[in-house]
């Protein structure tokens, strides 16, 4: 079904290991335009293109820099997006006018099977309305976009749970523009020193995914040391939600608390992050208090998501 619809130029939600994507043929201008419309996404925000494997990227990517090749071989299929010079077959709409296209090979068996059978790669942003929390289950997609798309390919809950790490090769050293599922240390083990340039300017044309306000729930979110923050809300504890790493907090009702990983495992915390935020956003509370996680490994990417969620996008 997904294959048939995509061949007909339609938009379909697909599972990946990071988050669900809103996919269409990356070669079809009108299909890509439809993605922007469904997502209500500004056209200055480019889309990532998903390919079956490294070999097939040569159909739409020019020569690949050596360090990009090393990273692709080390981490694909996986949560790593490489910015590479595009061929003409990719419409400028996909890259928002940039000569580079974001490319990745997703690590999900159903989507790889789909990509294998299709004669084109799939352009796909996360399958959420622009600015809101990314979806990590088909139910998340259905809740917000169910009436706008014909089909959701159900691949279960996403195994990584946060978006891909994005790397550019325009500077001397490979440069990370978005923290994500592959940790910086893992990249450095393959290609040596990495620069990190997380851009924060709103409406930043070359890297809109790094808008300061992003991944945002509708509820106000404040990050900090929970033991210090919670007492400030003593008078209204039933209106407070907690997003914590491992611990439960006594003052706040249990039903208002999401614990990302009781074992203290960052991988598990990433898997539960967006679902937890959505749960809290749906509760009858006024504010979400979120803990900082340990910032090593993918903890840094989780903290980055929470910081961006902290900024009111309204
Ligand atoms: O894990 C992921 O990357 C997920 C899954 C579906 O693959 N996709 C995802 O897409 O997070 P999206 O559109 O929500 O975020 C992609 C980010 C955007 O912020 C966009 O600005 C950046 O990647 N991006 C894509 N193509 C780019 C390009 N050519 N140059 C600079 N940034 C680019
Ligand atoms: Mg997104």
User: Tell me: the pLDDT tens digits for 297-307?
Assistant: 999 999 999 99
If asked whether residues 152 and 238 sit together in one domain, one would say: no
Average pLDDT over residues 227-235: 94
**What pLDDT is attached to residue 312?**
56
Q: What's the gap in Å between 189 CA and the centre of ligand 1?
A: 24
Write the DSSP symbol of residue 292.
P
Q: Which residue from 174, 190, 148, 165 is spatially nearest to 79, judged by alpha carbons?
A: 165
pLDDT at 207 over 60: no
The two three-digit tokens of residue 129, written as one number:
């309305």
If asked whether residues 153 and 233 sit together in one domain, one would say: no
| 3 state SS of 162 | coil
Q: How far apart are CA 314 and CA 108, in angstroms?
A: 34
If asked whether residues 127 and 37 sit together in one domain, one would say: yes
Query: Tokens 């404040």 appear where?
Result: 222
Question: pLDDT averaged over the chain?
Answer: 93
Q: How far apart are CA 274 and CA 136, in angstroms?
A: 7
Which atom of ligand 1 is found nearest the CA of 210? 19
CB proximity list for 273: less than 8 A, separation 6 or greater: 161, 162, 260, 302, 305
Which atom of ligand 1 is found nearest the CA of 164? 1
The two three-digit tokens of residue 83, written as one number:
């910015």
**pLDDT of 172-206, one tens digit each?**
999 999 999 999 999 999 999 999 998 664 444 44
Residues with CB under 6 A from ligand 1: 16, 18-19, 21, 45-48, 79, 81, 83, 95, 98, 100-102, 106, 124-126, 163-164, 166, 206-209
Question: Is residue 188 assigned to a domain?
Answer: no
**What pLDDT is attached to residue 226?**
96
Bridge partners, 13 (sequence order):
22, 152
Asked whether the beta carbons of 284 and 271 are under 8 A apart, the reply is no
The two three-digit tokens of residue 217, written as one number:
């729930």
If asked whether residues 146 and 7 sit together in one domain, one would say: yes
Question: Is residue 18 assigned to a domain?
Answer: yes
- C-alpha 78, offset from chain centre: 13
If asked whether residues 229 and 300 sit together in one domain, one would say: yes
pLDDT at 210 over 50: yes
> Of 122, 143, 163, which closes a domain?
163
Write down the H helix ranges in the chain: 2-7, 29-39, 66-75, 92-95, 109-117, 138-145, 184-191, 226-229, 266-281, 299-310
Asked whether the beta carbons of 70 and 190 are under 8 A apart, the reply is yes
pLDDT level of residue 104 (50, 70, 90 thresholds): very high
Question: Is residue 240 assigned to a domain?
Answer: yes
Question: Is residue 21 assigned to a domain?
Answer: yes
**pLDDT of 37-49, one tens digit each?**
999 999 899 999 9
If asked whether residues 49 and 139 sit together in one domain, one would say: yes
> Of 128, 163, 198, which closes a domain?
163
Average pLDDT over residues 166-173: 95
pLDDT at 209 over 80: no
Q: How far apart are CA 231 and CA 234, in angstroms?
A: 5
pLDDT over 90 percentage in the chain: 89
Domain region containing 111: 2-163
pLDDT level of residue 314 (50, 70, 90 thresholds): very low
Q: What's the gap in Å between 126 CA and the centre of ligand 2?
A: 4
If asked whether residues 30 and 114 sit together in one domain, one would say: yes
Question: Is residue 211 assigned to a domain?
Answer: no
**What pLDDT is attached to residue 204?**
44
If asked whether residues 50 and 147 sit together in one domain, one would say: yes
Q: CATH number of the domain that 17 lies in?
A: 3.90.870.10
The per-residue DSSP string of 45-108 comes to S--EEE-SSTGGGGGTB-PPPHHHHHHHHHH-SSSEEEEEEBPTTS-HHHHTT-SEEEEE----
If asked whether residues 22 and 152 sit together in one domain, one would say: yes
CB proximity list for 226: less than 8 A, separation 6 or greater: 242, 244, 247, 249, 289, 291
Q: CATH number of the domain that 252 lies in?
A: 3.40.50.11030
pLDDT at 313 over 80: no
**What pLDDT is attached to residue 218?**
86
> Of 163, 181, 204, which closes a domain?
163
If asked whether residues 138 and 266 sit together in one domain, one would say: no
**What pLDDT is attached to residue 216?**
76
Q: What's the gap in Å between 23 CA and the centre of ligand 1?
A: 12
**What pLDDT is attached to residue 220?**
93
| Entry pTM | 0.94
The two three-digit tokens of residue 206, written as one number:
């070359």
If asked whether residues 158 and 303 sit together in one domain, one would say: no
Question: Is residue 169 assigned to a domain?
Answer: no
282-307 in b/e form (b: 16+ CB < 10 A) is ebebebbbbbebeeebbbbbbbbbbb
Bridge partners, 241 (sequence order):
288
Question: Is residue 40 assigned to a domain?
Answer: yes
Q: Which residue from 174, 183, 20 is spatially nearest to 106, judged by alpha carbons?
A: 20
Number of H helices, E strands in the chain: 10, 13
- If one counts the domains in the chain, the total is 2
Q: What's the gap in Å between 174 CA and the centre of ligand 2?
A: 22
Rounded to the nearest 5 percent, the helix, strand and coil shares of the chain are 35, 20, 45
**pLDDT of 279-296, one tens digit each?**
999 999 999 999 999 999
Question: Is residue 291 assigned to a domain?
Answer: yes
Average pLDDT over residues 52-71: 97
Q: How many CB atoms lie within 10 A of CB 45?
A: 18
If asked whether residues 18 and 149 sit together in one domain, one would say: yes
């Amino acid at each position: 079904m997904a294959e048939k619809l995509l061949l007909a130029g339609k938009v379909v939600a697909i599972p990946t290991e990071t988050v669900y994507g809103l996919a269409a043929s990356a070669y079809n201008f009108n299909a890509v335009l439809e993605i922007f419309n469904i997502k209500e996404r500004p056209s200055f925000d480019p889309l990532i293109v998903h390919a079956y494997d490294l070999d097939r990227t040569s159909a739409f990517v020019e020569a690949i820099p050596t360090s990009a090749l090393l990273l692709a071989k080390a981490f694909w299929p996986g949560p790593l997006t490489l910015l590479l010079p595009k061929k003409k077959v990719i419409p400028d709409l996909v890259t928002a006018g940039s000569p580079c296209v974001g490319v990745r090979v997703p690590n999900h068996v159903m989507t790889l099977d789909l990509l294998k059978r299709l004669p084109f790669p799939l352009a796909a942003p996360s399958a959420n309305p622009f600015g809101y929390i990314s979806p990590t289950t088909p139910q998340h997609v259905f809740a917000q976009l169910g009436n706008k798309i014909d089909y959701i390919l159900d691949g279960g809950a996403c195994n990584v749970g946060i978006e891909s790490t994005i790397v550019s090769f325009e500077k001397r050293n490979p440069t990370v523009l978005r923290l994500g599922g592959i940790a910086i240390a893992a990249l450095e083990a393959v290609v040596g020193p990495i620069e990190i340039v997380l851009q924060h300017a709103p409406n930043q044309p070359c890297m809109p995914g790094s808008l300061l306000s992003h991944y945002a729930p509708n509820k106000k979110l404040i990050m900090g040391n929970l033991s210090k923050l919670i007492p400030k809300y003593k008078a209204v504890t039933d209106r407070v939600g907690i997003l914590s790493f491992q611990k439960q907090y006594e003052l706040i009702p249990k039903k208002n608390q999401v614990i990302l990983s009781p074992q203290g495992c960052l991988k598990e915390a990433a898997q539960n992050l967006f679902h937890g935020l959505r749960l809290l956003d749906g509760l009858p509370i006024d504010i979400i208090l979120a803990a900082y996680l340990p910032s090593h490994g993918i903890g840094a990417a989780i903290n980055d998501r929470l910081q961006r969620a902290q900024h009111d996008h309204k």
